[in-house]
Amino acid sequence: MKLCDLIDLVLLAALWGGSFLFMRYAAPAFGPLPLIWLRVAVAALCLLPLLFLRGQQSVLRQNAAAIALMAVFSSALPFVLIAWAMLSITAGLASILNATVPIFTALISALWLRESLGFWRAAGLAVGFAGVLLLAADKADFRPGGSGWAIGAMLLATLSYGFAANLTRRQLGGVPALVNAAGSQLVSAIILMPFAVWFWPVTRPNALAWSAALVLGVGCTAIAFLLFFRLIANVGAARAVTVTFLIPLFGVLWGSLFLGETLNAGMLAGGSIVVLGTALATGVVRPSVRT
């Protein structure tokens, strides 16, 4: 991997890890639905001009139905679930739980697309879920005000991401990445607009919340998507997906620096197990067996 690609990888992880920080700032002020509408609308406004500059709007029209379905599961639904979860759990814990995306992607691929997992990838799924159980063991309080439902929402969001990844692979594999990105944000903005209007906060959000929402849309969505697509083009999807392992590092770091969050031994152990399971499930780590 070249130095410029490594810089892109680290910057992407920093941006996606920072998305949890900005949602922690903005979600209480806006509410999950208005905040995510702002996120996807701002991202769409950034990405659509690039789409038109490249003359790819006809590709968007030709694949509108599939992109609309993909948008629900890749952006609208998981973004709202994560924003809602951020009202109850820390940015660090959310970023660690987010590392289960490749695990769900591999599991859905095996069940839906009949892709063979092999021993080590199957072991990775088991290890990853064990890590999630360890993380949730002392935090899954399902009483009113508890964090159990928030953890469940995070896992439902990562399941949605996994389904969207396989849906994109099956129905939109030949579609340019920019078309998928711009289309998904545009459709998500259209879907969420009436909910955003209905649930728009009565109290005007402060400047910090507005700034967090704008950075979330421009930096953590539009720019992050462009970096991710450039990585895929330069180093391939297998290497680009390793960004998943860096996101929890930045999520915990930003939460500690700006929100005063602490990383306890249980989160450290559970997070390490989740990352190990993800590495095995995605094939990034393949233990050699000597005979």
Q: What is the pLDDT of residues 71-124, one digit of tens each?
A: 999 999 999 999 999 998 888 888 888 888 888 888 888 888 777 777 777 787
The rounded mean pLDDT for the chain is 85
- The pair phi, psi for residue 122, each rounded to 5°, is -65, -40
- The pair phi, psi for residue 56, each rounded to 5°, is -105, 15
Residue 221 DSSP label = I
- Return all residues near 152 (Cβ < 8 A) that are at least 6 apart: 140
Going from N- to C-terminal start, the domains of the chain cover: 3-281
Q: What is the pLDDT of residues 228-259, one digit of tens each?
A: 878 877 776 656 776 777 888 888 888 888 88
pLDDT class for 288, splitting at 50, 70, 90? low
Helix ranges, the chain (H): 3-30, 32-53, 57-62, 64-71, 77-85, 91-98, 101-112, 118-136, 148-171, 177-198, 207-217, 224-235, 237-240, 243-259, 265-281
Residue 88 DSSP label = T
How many Cα atoms occupy the beta-carbon half-sphere of 148 within 13 Å? 8
Distance CA 100, CA 81 (A): 15
How many Cα atoms occupy the beta-carbon half-sphere of 71 within 13 Å? 25
pTM (predicted TM-score): 0.88
Task: Report whether 125 contacts 103 (CB < 8 A).
Answer: yes
Angle at 92 between CA 94 and CA 122, to 5 degrees: 55
Distance CA 125, CA 279 (A): 10
Angle at 160 between CA 49 and CA 178, to 5 degrees: 20
pLDDT of residue 142: 53
Tell me the mean pLDDT in the region 260-277: 78
pLDDT of residue 141: 54
